[in-house]
Amino acid sequence: MQRTIADSHTLHHGTVEKSDLNGYGLMHGGRLLTLCDEVGYLAAKKHSGLDCLTRAAHDIHFIAAMREGDGYSVEAEVVLAGKTTLWVDCRVLHDGKSVMNAVFVYIAVDAAFRSIPVPEVVAVSEEEKAQQARMIRLRDRVMAGNS
């Protein structure tokens, strides 16, 4: 079964709370990573219909800071699927500008935590095809480093 990138698009809105801040009064990078992991998981589950576990995070870029009271959105979608892996593109935005980008890799698992096959993902628009091509290059670079 095939699904499109858009089918898995997941969006979360939030506001930076005092408990999200680091010692400099800025949103803690670890909190941003946690938010991306949570929304990325939701996109992976939406795409596959399966339970998923985080396998890896790649290309993490912190671009701008946020302060208490700032509103933000976290967007994620499955851009590439392997046999059992889901490669999810995640972005955090504040006032329409990028705050953080990252790629999370999830594996779909059964009740015994064994990896299981996932549906294919299809890029439809030219923008999605370019996004998927970037993800394939990242995956190939990562896999070359693991051999």
* CATH code for the domain of 36: 3.10.129.10
Residues 141, 80, 128, 101, Cα dihedral to 10°? -60
Q: Which domain holds residue 89?
A: 2-145
The tokens 């299809």 sit on which residue?
Answer: 122
Total number of domains in the chain: 1
| pLDDT value, residue 145 | 83
For residue range 2-53, list pLDDT tens digits in order: 799 999 999 999 999 999 999 999 999 999 999 999 999 999 999 999 999 9
| pLDDT value, residue 82 | 94
What is the average pLDDT score of the chain? 95
Strand order in the sheet with 10-15: 10-15, 71-81, 85-94, 97-109, 51-62
Q: Write the CA distances from 61 to 12, 29, 32, 65, integer angstroms.
A: 19, 10, 11, 12
User: What is the pTM (predicted TM-score) of this model?
Assistant: 0.93
What is the C-alpha to C-alpha distance for residues 39 and 117, in angstroms, rounded to an integer?
A: 21
Residue 119's pLDDT band (boundaries 50, 70, 90)?
Answer: very high
Would the pLDDT of 62 be above 90? yes
Would the pLDDT of 147 be above 70? no
**What is the H or E stretch that residue 81 is in?**
strand 71-81
